[in-house]
Structure 1
Amino acid sequence: MPLSEPAAREHIHTREVVCRGYRRTDGLWDIEGHLTDVKSYGFNTEQRGRLEPGDPVHEMWIRLTVDNQLTVHAVEVVTEKSPYHACGDITPDFQKLVGLNVTKGWTRAVKERLGGVHGCTHLVELLGPVATTAFQTVFPLLSREAEERAKAEGTRPVSKGRPPLLDMCHMFRGDGEHARRHWPEHYTGDRKDAAAAD
């Protein structure tokens, strides 16, 4: 169901974030994010001169190259358009992300390294949807392939430790129905209730 009918209004600003995930032939994954900000009106800027309606105020790109465990192997960041010429000067600092893991603690680790004056607000914000795109790209495909291999071999997929999605949201809570059915060895709910549900 979409949002309700809005009040009469005037369109002022659009921020678009597009993220894409790619499997590389070398076994790694590229996760890319692209952010643009545009206004519906023209205005003058101090360093770029006149921006017409639809001209990007911001246009920025991020590529994280990660492995199957979502450890960052390489980072590429480009500030193509920004209000000030020096905005892109901070992009080399994003190399501080190499070696981090895009799982629990990612947001905190990013803010510790690139928060405030040590980064760019827009690029740091873009790392949030880039991280969730990494999850959506890597884990479902690897899981599906493991299931297909197990089915072909007549076995069950082997669990490799704690599921990355466990306790990441209310759907995957440790004491919830999904955990009980799909990750019984990690289920933290009442075992008596679980037995009764079966």
Structure 2
Amino acid sequence: MPLPQAAERNKIHTRTVTCQGFERADGLWDIEGHLTDIKTVAIMLRDKSDSPVEPGEPIHDMSIRITIDLDFNIIDAVASMEHTPFTACPSIVDAYKQLIGLRIASGFTKRCKELFAGTNGCTHLLELLGPVATTAFQATHQAREAINQHSEEERPHTLNTCHTFDSSGEVVKKYWPQFYQPDKLIASKEIS
């Protein structure tokens, strides 16, 4: 269902985040995130005051790539910044090598914030790590399923992770009836 009709307006800014997953010939996976910020009007940047950034030219154009195995261990990490508002911005890209040795699992986002929040990193690259992590799950899903061949008795890893996978909901009732908990639905309505 699309968004409702908006009021009359002028587009000023577009942020684009693109994430892609690649299966490598060596059995590892590259997950890449790319972020751009583009204005529809010319703007002057304090650190680059010799000429304005013209409409359609990126203010931010930065990427991060992690290389993982199917257990979500980060084997390699590299970041780059093609366009930034300040000349000092790219000096932080090597900090993202600290991702090497981490595992995308519970606590990953918290650990990334510990490593790269504030002056320890770039706000935009830190923002990219969330979608990169979820892209890792999406990109490798079929390969992991082919290896693991989960039995019907195993608890789905998506159970109770969102409203669709609520253990008292219709999706779980239909596809994983052994994990369906109608009592949970009744209990939550009694609390309300």
TMscore range, shorter length: 0.7 to 0.9
Q: How does 1:61-100 map to 2 (within 5 A)?
A: 61-100=63-102
CA pair 32-53 structure 1, distance change in 2 beyond 3 A: same
Q: Does 1:54 align with 2:47?
A: no
Q: Which residue of 162, 165, 173 maps to 1:169? A: 162
CA pair 10-128 structure 1, distance change in 2 beyond 3 A: same
Secondary structure at the residue paired with 2:82? strand
Which stretch of structure 1 is more off in the superposition, 168-177 or 92-101? 168-177
Q: CA deviation at 1:93?
A: 1.0
Letter in 1 for 2:105: T
Q: Does 1:2 align with 2:14?
A: no
Identity %: 42
CA pair 45-129 structure 1, distance change in 2 beyond 3 A: same
Q: CA deviation at 1:103?
A: 2.4
Query: Counterparts of 1:51 and 1:164 in 2: how far apart (Å)?
Result: 46
Cα deviation 1:135-154 (Å, max 9, x = unaligned): 111123432x359xx7xxxx
Query: What's the counterpart of residue 190 of structure 2?
Result: none
Could you tell me the TM-score, scaled by structure 1's length?
0.80
Query: Counterparts of 1:184 and 1:60 in 2: how far apart (Å)?
Result: 45
Query: What's the counterpart of residue 189 of structure 2?
Result: none
Q: How does 1:179-198 map to 2 (within 5 A)?
A: 179=172, 187=179, 189=181
CA pair 104-169 structure 1, distance change in 2 beyond 3 A: farther
Query: Counterparts of 1:115 and 1:175 in 2: how far apart (Å)?
Result: 37
CA pair 179-96 structure 1, distance change in 2 beyond 3 A: farther
Which of structure 1's runs of 4+ aligned residues deviate more than 4 A?
A: 157-163, 174-185
Could you tell me the TM-score, scaled by structure 2's length?
0.82
Query: What's the counterpart of residue 132 of structure 2?
Result: 130
CA pair 109-166 structure 1, distance change in 2 beyond 3 A: farther
Letter in 1 for 2:120: H
Q: Is the 8 A contact 1:74 1:98 kept in 2?
A: yes
Query: Counterparts of 1:71 and 1:177 in 2: how far apart (Å)?
Result: 34
CA pair 99-163 structure 1, distance change in 2 beyond 3 A: farther
Q: Is the 8 A contact 1:103 1:164 kept in 2?
A: no
CA pair 190-12 structure 1, distance change in 2 beyond 3 A: closer
Gaps of 5+ in 2: 186-192
Q: CA deviation at 1:71?
A: 1.5
Gaps of 5+ in 1: 151-156, 194-198
Q: Is the 8 A contact 1:23 1:30 kept in 2?
A: yes
Provide the alpha-carbon RMSD of the alignment: 2.6
